[in-house]
Structure formats: structure tokens, C-alpha cells
Structure 1
């Protein structure tokens, strides 16, 4: 059987940077939430003494806290300052830009629209920088329900589907006299989605590797299925089932931006 790895897959710059910062952190450092949406990486770091906490209330005064790649709202920085915490900021630069864009949109008096998953930590952090005034949507049907307004600004979750965002933005264009679009889907996400789409069109099935709680990995599986390609989303090689591939000759593999190289190689 022929196995082809997508031209772009695995760790992106922001995730690699966050994991490296966590790996260099002193024992006893805490990450605010899991460093990335990959249970295997989180487990490895915890074994080395860098473990996640749910809230700054869970850490002692003066402790070291690492802000993960998804980013946090301004209130978290203020609370960390009050507790005299040493902050290692591993927020992805692309997320930082989306946060700043949301802040600027609100300060200009425009209606803020965030396209992304409402419960995702990155989207929550972007909304908090937009003073929690955003309308958050992730489907065309929701865009259709937004009332008309004179001026509107839109930012998008960095790992969102490009094609779906284009469809939503086209609807928003009809909902305002002025649409200020900030294309904040990061380059790495675009490259990974495009490479997955191209590969899915030439193979009998796709394997998508990454955390089940990883938004960008879920998007990769989504775009592969949209090519009418049988697609299996797994976290590790232990989940592979040879029955999936009976009668097939060519299998494609891709991986989310929070999936480390060693897990990809095990699956290959």
C-alpha cells in the first residue's frame, strides 16, 4: 500500500514556540489550561513538572505561569500582575493580531463579528479583547440572522476553514454599508487545509492525526470529507484499524498544527 504524507502538516510556528517555551520552563511551572490541544504532549510536559491549571486562583503568589498559544483576555494579565506571577507569554502571534484587531474594531465603534467556535479558548480570548461586545458565529445560517448595521468589522479564528469563512463573509457583506474584514486565518492553517484538500483528491482514504479537542485538526478532517474522501480522525497509531483500508491502494495522511512529529511518524 502506498502512503503519502501531506505537503504541509503537523506543528505550526505558534505551537512549536509554545511547546519549546514550556519545555524550557522550570519545574513547577503551570500552564493556564493545556498548553496545546494534544493530550500526549500535555502528558509529556506534566511528567517533566510543567502541568496545566484551570485558573490563576489555583497557583500561589509569585509562581511561574505560562499563557498558552490560544491566548487570554486582558483581565488575566491584570490578575497575574496582582498575584506577582512571573508570566511566560506563549500566545501565538497570529492570535495576538486577531485580539488587537478585535480591540481596534470596537474602539472605532464598529459592530464586531467573530467567526469561530463560541466555546474555543482562542475565540473567547479574542472576544475579551473586544470588550465582550462581539457577535460570535460559525455558520452561514447565523450570519443570515445578523441585523443590518452601518459599519461592521470581522475577525476570524486563526484555524477556521477558509472556504467556509469566504461564504460567511459574503453574507456579512450584505448586512452592512461598510465591512472591515480582517483575514486572521493564519498562513499555516491555510497551507495545511490546501495540502489536505489536494491530497484527499488523489487517495482512497485520509487519516487525520490530532487531538479530538483540536479545532484545527477537526477542520482538516472536515475539508477532507468535503472532497468525498473517506476520512478517519485519530489521535495515535493505536486507533488504526486495518479493516478501514481493505481493497485500498493509496492512503493519505495529514496532521493538525498541534500534532508532534513523533506521533505522525508512528502512524506512517
Structure 2
């Protein structure tokens, strides 16, 4: 035995939007035993597997278009107006678990679009949340992941800037300053969720307190990739895993202090499982 001291980051685990969606799903699954969900309810394979075992059926938009007279969960990322229109057409009951922060952002973008604003969205191309945001503008808004994608000479001289809720606050304001520095008048809307963005600072503090860090996240989680790199920058002995089977005992030396943390899509039960596995070394 290596006599490892293991601690789970108290701030890690699901954000409130994911908690809300999963609680809604479990309530229906407990009552009815089956529920359709449009896309993975959360970007964590282990949690999706757990809910599938309870009767959750993950579908895509193609399957949705063929579905009739069923209940379908809208996950925290939100959906574009076309999904709601299809639901009415196909007599589907939508269980809307869209994150309140995302819904508020959708409404703000819709209002800007109705006023005729030139809308730019800092976000990840083809991300579920961004697709929902674009839908508020008839897909006319400009989405960019990095300012290098924009030809600043052709950007309108007056734009309205929004951000996907899970992007970096620092990066958003860096982009905002670069746009303004190029002579563009920017109506800036900081729409980043602080529960997510504040994780950067919290994780840097956490990662610096241990000999090694085990970061637990699904491979599909954009937030997980960003937060893993935050930990890695602070503590080079940071390891990315998706489940407890991937842990390697050679990562740890005798009497090491080991920290466990994760993405906002990582369930606490999974981090507890990881802790129990590490304590067997």
C-alpha cells in the first residue's frame, strides 16, 4: 500500500443546469420507465450509461423527425425554435430542461436579432448550445471560435457581441478589446455562466495543493478539455481519465497527496468511485 491521501474537489461536479436536467429525467424514468432524450443528456459516458440503464433513450434530430406522440427531454444546452415547431407538428411532449442561463441568452439574442443588430457569437462551431443560439437568428449570426477566423476589415463597424455560456471570460474580453481596438463599435454582452467560468480560478488553487491530480471527465466535454488544461498548467502531474479503470498506480509515489476533480459534466458518484480505486493502491 502506498498510503495515499486522496481528496475530491468540493467545487467539482455537475453545474446546476445539468443537475436540473438529470433530476427531471430521473423523475420521469422512475414514474414511467422510459424517456427519449434529444442528444446526450450530459457529455459524460458513464452518467449516460447509468441513465440508459434506467430507461433513457438517446435520439438525434433525424429520429426526432420520425417520432410521434412521445415525451422527449430537451437537455440543458437548449434547442433552436425549429425543434419546438417539429414537436407541435409530431404531437411530441417536450420536457424542457434547458438551462435557465442558456434560455436567458436565447431570448437576448432573439431580441437583438428582431432589432436588426449584426450579431456575433463567440462559441464553438456546431456545439449544441450554439446551434440553439443560431436558431434565434435564422442562422444569420456569425459564430467564431477565435478572432483569427474574422476578417476584421469586413466586420461591420457596429456589432452586438455574445458568448456561448461556457467560454473563457478572459478570452471573451480579450476578443472584445481586439475588436474595439480595430475601430469596431461593440455592444458587449457578457453571457458567460460564472459557475463555469469561476472554475478556472478554483481549479488552479486546488491543483496546486497536491502532488498529483486525477481529472475525471467525458471525452466529449468541451468544458472538460479546457479545465483539464487549467489543472495541467498548474500541476504537470495531472492525468485525464473517464472512468476508474483507466487509473495507473505508477502515477503515484508513496505518501503522495492526490487531488480528484472534474468537469461541470462529471458526476460526483464517479469521482467517489475514482477515489475508492486510488485508495486500493
TM over 0.5, yes or no?
yes
Which residue does 1:29 correspond to in 2? 35
Which residue does 1:195 correspond to in 2? 202
Which residue does 1:83 correspond to in 2? 90
Shift of 1:77: 0.2
TM-score where L is the length of structure 1: 0.91
Cα distance change, pair 112–20 in 1 and its aligned pair in 2 (3 A): same
Measure the CA separation in 1 of the matches of 2:213 and 2:146: 25
Measure the CA separation in 1 of the matches of 2:81 and 2:182: 30
**Larger relative CO (CA 8 A, sep 6+): 1 or 2?**
2
Q: Is the 8 A contact 2:212 2:235 kept in 1?
A: no
Deviations 1:12-70 (A, max 9, x none): 110001001111113332001111111122112222222111121242x2111111111
TM-score where L is the length of structure 2: 0.87
Deviations 1:151-190 (A, max 9, x none): 1112212121222222222222234542122222112102
Which residue does 2:224 correspond to in 1? 217
Q: Is the 8 A contact 2:8 2:271 kept in 1?
A: no
Q: Is the 8 A contact 1:209 1:234 kept in 2?
A: yes
Question: Once structures 1 and 2 are overlaid, which stretch shifts more, 150-159 or 223-232?
Answer: 223-232
User: How well do the aligned residues superpose, as a CA RMSD in angstroms?
Assistant: 2.1
Which residue does 1:57 correspond to in 2? 65
Is 1:14 matched with 2:25?
no
Is 1:152 matched with 2:183?
no
Superposed counterparts of 1:181-260, under 5 Å: 181-227=188-234, 229-246=236-253, 249-260=256-267
Is 1:162 matched with 2:165?
no
Shift of 1:146: 6.6
Which residue does 2:47 correspond to in 1? 41
Tell me, what secondary structure is at the counterpart of 2:220? coil
Alignment gaps of 5+ in structure 2? 276-281
Cα distance change, pair 246–172 in 1 and its aligned pair in 2 (3 A): farther
Alignment gaps of 5+ in structure 1? none
Cα distance change, pair 10–144 in 1 and its aligned pair in 2 (3 A): farther
Q: Is the 8 A contact 2:212 2:256 kept in 1?
A: no
Q: Is the 8 A contact 1:152 1:176 kept in 2?
A: no
